[in-house]
């Protein structure tokens, strides 16, 4: 992400604060270490637990996988054929998130052509969601940065695209849709990661799938969906899939090779419900 | 050298400009200043290869009341969490703990409105980030601006009883 302030006014203020009050590069070493308790009691925390869950982007997991192995990221790209997406906004939100997840895979593969295709598809689906105005600048930046092989910028813009859509949805009181965007991206990322780990298993790689808190968060989110979307066959199938993923992930700390294979198949079946739909 | 004296011109500028903007009705409702400040704290680390996420946490809290934020981390990545608060004279701290409550911060800083903590997770799991924003309205040795403009004009600049806070993170 580009670290930028959102207005010239704030840029000026931040510049003044930093130039007068601090030397950023020396702060971590130069400032006195604040007193930190060695241990806190999480069961009796004297404060407030923040509800909001920030879902990691697939690139965070991909970065670790790249340190442990040399996955053939190009083999992981699987952009579904273009077709009728329907009008259910919940499904469109899931597809949007999964397309962004696809973009992160293509960035890892440094595949400029695929990223540009994905950038255009992201814009098309945002039009169906009525959010093209907010997404277009990011989509164009994705396409342009991919043309320049500026992978870091593409990653930033994919994250920004997802965030812009989620923020816009939340401002329109569409919090449910915002959560579905995150779920779609997480699911696509999880599926490709499980596929790579299945192909070349190691306990270190399998540990990346130890995410029970996130699975529980998504289950709660789907369980609290209101309206007809929450009762659609696709959402119910995804909900069931999450329950199956949770059962595997939480049964033990170490995730075995057979567990990874199951996680791969379940996540694929969930994506088949709305993303890899057979024509 | 007293660091707080160095900050006075900047803080006065912030206060005066904020006051002018409020009075003239210019409202930056879409700008989260605490997040903007946390992102400024992150800037030097971007040059070190940290990818800073767009998503973040923010809100308002009573001074001194600790906040606990759950977050999934992956072993193999290195993380920095940066916190900010925009209220003049307020301070903020950030620490990180594993799911048993043990401190896992390897390096940290706390400088008035900014704070940060670095960690290298020893396992892939849910971790807990603790944020504490503090403000001593009657602190001695601070200018009125740093105390939070204790001489309000028609409510402008008056401390409302809660502080804004924001938290961002980056990984590499």
Residue B156 has pLDDT above 80, yes or no: no
Q: A136: exposed, middle or buried (C-beta count within 10 Å: 0-12, 13-18, 19+)?
A: middle
Test B110 with A155 for CB contact under 8 angstroms.
no
Average of per-residue pLDDT across A69-73: 95
Partners of residue A214 in chain B, C-beta under 8 Å:
72
pLDDT for residue A153: 94
Average of per-residue pLDDT across A268-272: 97
Could you give the angle at the alpha carbon of A130 between the alpha carbons of A127 and A135, nearest 5°? 60
Q: Is the dihedral of CA A212, B95, B11, A10 positive or negative?
A: negative
Partners of residue A157 in chain B, C-beta under 8 Å:
none
Q: Spell out the domain ranges in chain A.
A: 8-271
pLDDT for residue A81: 87
Query: Terminal CA-to-CA distance of chain A, rounded, Å?
Result: 36
pLDDT in tens, A74-130: 999 999 988 777 788 999 999 999 999 999 999 999 999 999 999 999 999 999 999
pLDDT for residue B145: 56
Interatomic CA distance for residues B35 and B69, integer angstroms: 15
pLDDT category of residue B142 using cuts at 50, 70 and 90: low
The shortest CB-CB distance from B43 to any of A24, A47, A156 is to A24
Partners of residue B70 in chain A, C-beta under 8 Å:
49-50, 53, 213
Average of per-residue pLDDT across A131-150: 94
- As a whole-number percent, the residues of chain A with pLDDT over 70 amount to 86
The shortest CB-CB distance from A50 to any of B6, B68, B101 is to B68
Test A5 with B42 for CB contact under 8 angstroms.
no
pLDDT for residue A227: 81
pLDDT category of residue A229 using cuts at 50, 70 and 90: confident
Test B10 with A17 for CB contact under 8 angstroms.
yes
Please, where are the H alpha helices in chain A? Answer: 8-21, 24-30, 58-68, 73-76, 89-108, 112-128, 132-147, 151-171, 175-199, 203-206, 212-223, 233-251, 257-272
Partners of residue A68 in chain B, C-beta under 8 Å:
76
The shortest CB-CB distance from A1 to any of B51, B112, B125 is to B51
Taking all residues of chain A, what is their mean pLDDT, rounded to a whole number? Answer: 87
Interatomic CA distance for residues A22 and A12, integer angstroms: 15
Taking all residues of chain B, what is their mean pLDDT, rounded to a whole number? Answer: 81
The shortest CB-CB distance from B68 to any of A45, A60, A208 is to A45
Test B55 with A163 for CB contact under 8 angstroms.
yes
The label of the residue with tokens 């200018």 reads: B143
Test B126 with A213 for CB contact under 8 angstroms.
yes
Average of per-residue pLDDT across B54-71: 96
- As a whole-number percent, the residues of chain B with pLDDT over 70 amount to 70
CA distance A249 to chain B (A): 11
pLDDT in tens, B4-46: 444 444 444 444 444 444 433 333 345 799 999 999 999 999 9
- Best B16, B40, B145 member to test A by mutation, with max A CBs in 10 Å, is B40
Partners of residue B53 in chain A, C-beta under 8 Å:
1, 54, 57, 159
DSSP one-letter string for A31-45: SPPPP--SB--GGG-
pLDDT for residue A84: 74
Residue A154 has pLDDT above 50, yes or no: yes
pLDDT category of residue A24 using cuts at 50, 70 and 90: very low
The shortest CB-CB distance from A46 to any of B31, B51, B66 is to B66
CA distance B154 to chain A (A): 24
Is residue B81 helix, strand or coil? strand
pLDDT for residue A6: 46
pLDDT in tens, B94-136: 999 999 999 999 999 999 899 999 999 999 999 999 999 999 8
Lowest mean pLDDT, pick from A27-31, A77-81, A109-113, A186-190: A27-31
Q: Which residue has the higher pLDDT, B118 or A171?
A: B118
Partners of residue A37 in chain B, C-beta under 8 Å:
95, 103
Residue A231 has pLDDT above 90, yes or no: no
Test A22 with B13 for CB contact under 8 angstroms.
no
Partners of residue B48 in chain A, C-beta under 8 Å:
none
ipTM, two decimals: 0.86
Residue B90 has pLDDT above 90, yes or no: yes
């Amino acid at each position: 992400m580009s670290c930028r302030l959102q207005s010239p006014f704030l840029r000026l203020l931040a510049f003044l604060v930093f130039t007068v009050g601090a030397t950023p590069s020396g702060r971590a070493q130069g400032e006195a270490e604040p007193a930190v308790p060695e241990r806190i009691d999480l069961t009796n925390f004297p404060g407030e637990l923040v509800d909001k869950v920030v879902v990691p982007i697939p690139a965070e997991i991909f970065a670790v996988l790249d340190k442990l192995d040399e996955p053939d990221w190009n083999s992981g790209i699987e952009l579904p054929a273009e077709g009728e997406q329907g009008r259910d906004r919940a499904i469109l939100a899931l597809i949007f998130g999964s397309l962004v997840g696809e973009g992160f895979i293509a960035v890892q593969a440094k595949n400029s052509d695929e990223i540009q295709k994905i950038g255009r598809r992201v814009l098309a689906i945002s039009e169906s969601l009525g959010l093209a105005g907010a997404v277009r600048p990011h989509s164009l930046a994705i396409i342009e940065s991919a043309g320049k092989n500026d992978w870091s910028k593409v990653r930033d813009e994919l994250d920004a695209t997802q965030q812009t859509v989620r923020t816009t949805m939340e401002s329109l009181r569409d919090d449910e849709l915002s959560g579905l965007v995150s779920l779609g991206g997480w699911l696509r990322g999880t599926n490709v990661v499980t596929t790579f780990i299945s192909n070349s298993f190691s306990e270190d790689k399998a540990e990346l799938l130890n995410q029970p808190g996130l699975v529980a968060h998504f289950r709660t989110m789907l369980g609290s969906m209101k309206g007809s979307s929450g009762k659609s066959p696709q959402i119910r199938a995804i909900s069931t899939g999450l329950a199956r993923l949770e059962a595997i992930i939480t049964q033990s700390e170490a995730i075995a090779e057979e567990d990874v294979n199951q996680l791969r198949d379940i996540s694929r079946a969930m994506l088949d419900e709305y993303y890899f739909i057979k024509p | 050298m007293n660091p707080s004296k160095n900050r006075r011109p900047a803080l006065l500028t912030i206060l005066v400009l904020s006051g002018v903007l409020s009075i003239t009705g210019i409202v930056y409702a879409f700008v989260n200043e605490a997040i903007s400040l946390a992102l400024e704290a992150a800037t030097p680390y971007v040059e070190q290869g940290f990818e800073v996420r767009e998503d973040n946490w923010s809100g308002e809290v009573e001074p001194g009341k600790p906040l606990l934020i759950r977050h999934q981390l992956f072993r193999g990545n290195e993380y920095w969490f940066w916190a900010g608060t925009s209220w003049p004279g307020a301070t903020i701290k950030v620490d990180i703990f594993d799911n048993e409550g043990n401190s896992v911060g390897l390096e940290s800083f706390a400088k008035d409105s900014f704070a940060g903590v670095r960690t290298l997770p020893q396992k892939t799991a849910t971790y807990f980030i603790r944020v504490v924003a503090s403000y001593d309205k009657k602190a001695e040795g601070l200018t009125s601006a740093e105390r939070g403009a204790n001489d309000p004009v028609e409510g402008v600049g008056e401390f409302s009883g809660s502080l804004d806070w924001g938290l961002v993170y980056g990984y590499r």
